[in-house]
Amino acid sequence: MIALDGVTATVGDFALREVSFEIGQGSYGVVIGPAGAGKTTLLEAVAGIVPVRAGHVRLRGVDVTRQAPELRRVGIVYQHSYLFPHLSVLENVAYGAHNPALVPEMLERFRLDEFVDRDVKSLSGGERQVVALARTLATSPDILLLDEPFAALDPRSRITVRRQVRALHAERGMTVLHVTHDFAEAGRLGHRVVLLERGRVLQVGSPDDVFHRPSSAAVAEFIGAENVVLGRIRVVRSSTAGTAKKADDADDADTATTATTATTAITATTKTATPRERMVEFSSKGLTLHAVSDMPDGEAHAVIRADEIALAPARRESSMRNQVAARVVEVASAGVIAHVTVEAGGVELVAAITTRSAEELGLAPGREVVAALKATAVHLC
Amino acid sequence: MWGTGITHYSAVGGRAAILTGMESIRFGRRPGRGVQRVMTVGSAALASLLLLFLVAPLVGVVGGWGAAGVRALASDADLRGSLWITLQTATLATLLGAAGGIPLAYALSRRRFRGRALVSALVDLPLVVPHPVAGIALLIVLGRDTPAGRALLTAGLQVTGSRTGIVCAMLFVSAPLLVSAAREAFDRVDPRLEAVARTLGDTAWTAVRRVTLPLAGRGLTAAAIVMWARAISEFGAIVVLTYNPKVVSVLSYERFTSFGLDDALPVAAVLIVLALVPIVVLRAVAAPGALPGSRG
């Protein structure tokens, strides 16, 4: 278990500020954030390499805030491997191994047998990274910190090493904290995502939660939400969870209908309403959308995933809450997916539909369409 | 293109100024080919003159009196004695300098502490003090009538007029060179390597011993050689603190002032050859792979 409670740490001019989150025993946590967010500093604070000025770091339930790195039994693998250049591959892997039997095991597991006597400077970036991983795992850490470990790897090695890491995590029940700037990678690997920016935690949650319920426009933009629109909320009616659920049901029924047509959205994953949420109207310029939210009246951002927006040639009889007239601005096809930019009420929205649907609808700049989306697809923050 | 830009933005003072500056960079007058040739030849001539100025006196002394110096080593007991004292004291001063200077250099390279800049400046201070002044300063602190001098005398160490004084003078003027070079050697070793070693189970000391010292080894050896070479050639501080027993530099000065140039030249030739040895060793050490642990 890794738990940080109000951790503040300074490195040069950069500071982590009051970082708090918890990664359960045996869980795979992922820290994501843009370059300079403090991701590496965060890992180093957990490892004891960077001193913590305030707050507490707990590992396995024990406060280790003032404990030396060598006593924390934490393994760290950096993006740049940091192999000891004066030692051979074998000497690197065996460097911290308490149990000598683990060294050949790691060499075999990572297919390093043929490299044992090699000078580490002669290895490729991918090979170096694998040696670094083997060196760390040969110490049998039950907490593993990974700092963008796949960034230097070619795509093929990345898949192989990622598979190895996942297998080891599953086999050994290690608690992993993995730093990346790639949200897709975070979604593939992590049970829990910590989103960091400028030394502060913006959001902690499951990958699905962060993806569908970003806590702010900054989070939404970082995780690649295509539509982040500033506007105002007006509460239409107070509602119980039942009402919100009803809105969901109506929308789901509607999606089921559209699923048989060329207007099908690519996915239909939506958030689940919470008890305090109610139906609201979100307005930006000339665009008004219905949404389900617990936010009060006032300024807010609407976050809409491109794959939640369906396009149709005309308004249809449907209980789908949001059907707005729009004009196609741009169609960008990339393989099976086409990103269609439409302008609705002075606001540009991006919809992701299949290229085939775009062709069937005859979408081209200037074409009038109807953009449809469920109330629950509009996340307000 | 930039010309168009300047006209276009002429109403916007700052931007126009920037563009004007860029134009001068882009279209600044290039010197003609003839001028360039004159500049190249002129620079080469100046560099050659400087090199000649630096080398000619030394080559002259060694070439003219090197053989006499070797003969003097066989026949001149005073010269042999001075040479032995010089080697002994320079080696001892270097060992003492390394014992204190390497940890100091490590701290200055790795630790961020209050007063770090001041400590750095203080370490470099002896380098800018004239060496006779350094000798006088040492006399004031370590002379017989000072508390430190009396304490050392009680411990059986007389600073003035002894080998201890020579070591003190050598240490004072040459240790800063070791600290500076050792600090550079540590700076070249990524601190994250030590951090990784710590997470692999090493204590702070063990990580330094197993990772940092082997990787900085070549630089530290070079730092010690630089200090030793500087100690061997020291004169100003030593002559103030300890005229006798004589190191080679003091002996050559004494021969010059008492007996003239002819007697001083063989001793000077020996000193120059002695100073050449560490320079040659330093070049060998600087070559990649010259020392164990120099693979990085």
ipTM of the complex: 0.76
Cβ contact A180:A148 at 8 Å: yes
- A85 close contact with B: CB closer than 8 A: yes
By percentage, how much of chain B surpasses pLDDT 90?
Answer: 70
A227-245: buried (b, 16+ CB within 10 Å) or exposed (e) per residue? Answer: bbbebebeeeeebebebbb
A185 confidence band (pLDDT: 50, 70, 90):
confident
- A98 close contact with B: CB closer than 8 A: yes
A249 confidence band (pLDDT: 50, 70, 90):
very low
B204 contacts in chain A (CB < 8 Å):
68
What distance in Å separates the CA atoms of residue B104 and residue B180, rounded to the nearest whole number?
10
Q: What is the per-residue pLDDT across A107-146, written as a single tens digit (0 to 9) for each?
A: 998 889 888 888 999 998 888 999 999 999 999 999 999 9
Residues A99/A103/A105/A109 CA torsion (nearest 10 deg): 140
Phi, psi of B191 (to 5 degrees): -60, -20
A238 confidence band (pLDDT: 50, 70, 90):
low
Contact yes or no for A49 and B204 at CB 8 A = no
Contact yes or no for B201 and A96 at CB 8 A = yes
What distance in Å separates the CA atoms of residue B285 and residue B224, rounded to the nearest whole number?
11
pLDDT of A223: 86
Continuous H helices in chain A: 39-47, 89-94, 102-109, 125-137, 155-172, 183-189, 207-212, 217-222, 241-258, 355-361
What distance in Å separates the CA atoms of residue B265 and residue B160, rounded to the nearest whole number?
28
Q: What is the per-residue pLDDT across A154-176, written as a single tens digit (0 to 9) for each?
A: 888 888 888 888 888 888 889 99
Residues B262-285: what's their mean pLDDT?
Answer: 88
Residues B19-24: what's their mean pLDDT?
Answer: 47
Q: Which residue in A69, A98, A121 is closest to B199 by CB distance?
A: A69
Mean pLDDT of chain B: 87
Strands in chain A per DSSP E? 2-11, 14-23, 28-32, 54-59, 62-63, 74-77, 143-147, 175-180, 192-197, 200-205, 227-237, 278-284, 287-293, 298-304, 310-312, 322-334, 337-344, 347-354, 368-373, 379-380
What distance in Å separates the CA atoms of residue B243 and residue B247, rounded to the nearest whole number?
8
pLDDT of A274: 57
Look at residue B19 and tell me whether its pLDDT is greater than 60. no
Best A95, A102, A118, A123 residue to mutate vs chain B (most B CBs within 10 Å): A95
Name which of A298, A313, A308, A299 is nearest A358 in CA terms: A313
Contact yes or no for A76 and B199 at CB 8 A = yes
A229 confidence band (pLDDT: 50, 70, 90):
very high
What distance in Å separates the CA atoms of residue A226 and residue A265, rounded to the nearest whole number?
15
Residues A11-18: what's their mean pLDDT?
Answer: 91
What distance in Å separates the CA atoms of residue A355 and residue A253, rounded to the nearest whole number?
24
Cβ contact A198:A37 at 8 Å: yes
Cβ contact A40:A92 at 8 Å: no
Contact yes or no for A70 and B195 at CB 8 A = no
Q: What is the per-residue pLDDT across A23-35, written as a single tens digit (0 to 9) for each?
A: 999 999 999 988 8
Residue B1, token pair as written in the block:
């293109």
Contact yes or no for A49 and B193 at CB 8 A = no
What's the CA angle centered on B105, arms B99 and B107, to 5 degrees?
A: 105
What distance in Å separates the CA atoms of residue B276 and residue B279, rounded to the nearest whole number?
5
Contact yes or no for B198 and A69 at CB 8 A = yes
Q: Which residues numbered 213-232 in B keep a CB inside 8 Å of some CB on A?
A: 214-215
pLDDT of A156: 83
B215 contacts in chain A (CB < 8 Å):
84-86
Phi, psi of A84 (to 5 degrees): -80, 115
Cβ contact A230:A299 at 8 Å: yes
In total, chain A counts a number of residues equal to 381
What distance in Å separates the CA atoms of residue A288 and residue A373, rounded to the nearest whole number?
12
Residue B117, token pair as written in the block:
């800049």
What distance in Å separates the CA atoms of residue B279 and residue B288, rounded to the nearest whole number?
16
- A135 close contact with B: CB closer than 8 A: yes
Kindly report which listed range (A12-21, A193-202, A230-239) carries the lowest average pLDDT score. A230-239
Q: What is the per-residue pLDDT across B158-208, written as a single tens digit (0 to 9) for each?
A: 888 999 999 999 999 999 999 999 999 999 999 999 999 999 999 999 999
pLDDT of B293: 40
Name which of A142, A195, A216 is nearest A172 in CA terms: A142
Q: How many CB atoms lie within 10 A of CB B49?
A: 10
Look at residue B294 and tell me whether its pLDDT is greater than 50. no
Q: How far is B203 from chain A (nearest CA, A)?
A: 6
Residues B5-27: what's their mean pLDDT?
Answer: 43
What distance in Å separates the CA atoms of residue B176 and residue B143, rounded to the nearest whole number?
22
pLDDT of A237: 67
What distance in Å separates the CA atoms of residue A375 and residue A323, rounded to the nearest whole number?
10
A95 contacts in chain B (CB < 8 Å):
197, 200
Q: Which residue in A78, A119, A139 is closest to B201 by CB distance?
A: A139
Q: What is the per-residue pLDDT across B123-168, written as a single tens digit (0 to 9) for each?
A: 999 989 999 999 999 999 998 889 999 999 999 898 889 999 999 9
- A49 close contact with B: CB closer than 8 A: yes
Q: How far is A82 from chain B (nearest CA, A)?
A: 6
pLDDT of A186: 81
What distance in Å separates the CA atoms of residue A20 and residue A104, rounded to the nearest whole number?
39
pLDDT of B287: 65
Best A53, A86, A128 residue to mutate vs chain B (most B CBs within 10 Å): A86
B5 confidence band (pLDDT: 50, 70, 90):
very low
Q: What is the per-residue pLDDT across A75-117, written as a single tens digit (0 to 9) for each?
A: 999 989 999 999 999 999 999 999 999 999 999 988 898 888 8
Look at residue A241 and tell me whether its pLDDT is greater than 60. no
Contact yes or no for A84 and B203 at CB 8 A = no
Contact yes or no for B200 and A119 at CB 8 A = no
Does the pTM surpass 0.90? The reply is no
Nearest chain B residue (CA) to A119: B295
Look at residue B13 and tell me whether its pLDDT is greater than 80. no
Look at residue A240 and tell me whether its pLDDT is greater than 70. no
Residue written as token pair 């359960």: A24
Is A18 exposed, middle or buried, given 0-12, 13-18 or 19+ CB atoms closer than 10 A? middle
For helices B131-142 and B163-187, what crossing angle results, to 10°?
A: 120
A14 contacts in chain B (CB < 8 Å):
none
What's the CA angle centered on B271, arms B269 and B277, to 5 degrees?
A: 105
Kindly report which listed range (A54-63, A147-156, A263-272) carries the lowest average pLDDT score. A263-272
Higher pLDDT: A207 or B296? It is A207
Contact yes or no for A82 and B196 at CB 8 A = yes
- A148 close contact with B: CB closer than 8 A: no
Q: What is the per-residue pLDDT across A301-349, written as a single tens digit (0 to 9) for each?
A: 999 999 999 999 998 877 678 999 999 999 999 889 999 999 999 999 9
Pairing relationship of beta strands A2-11 and A54-59 according to DSSP bridges: antiparallel
Q: What is the per-residue pLDDT across A285-312, written as a single tens digit (0 to 9) for each?
A: 999 999 999 888 999 999 999 999 999 9
A147 contacts in chain B (CB < 8 Å):
none
Q: How far is CA A341 from the centre of its chain?
A: 24
- A207 close contact with B: CB closer than 8 A: no
pLDDT of B292: 42
- A10 close contact with B: CB closer than 8 A: no
Residue B167, token pair as written in the block:
């070591």
What distance in Å separates the CA atoms of residue B250 and residue B244, rounded to the nearest whole number?
9
Pairing relationship of beta strands A227-237 and A62-63 according to DSSP bridges: unpaired
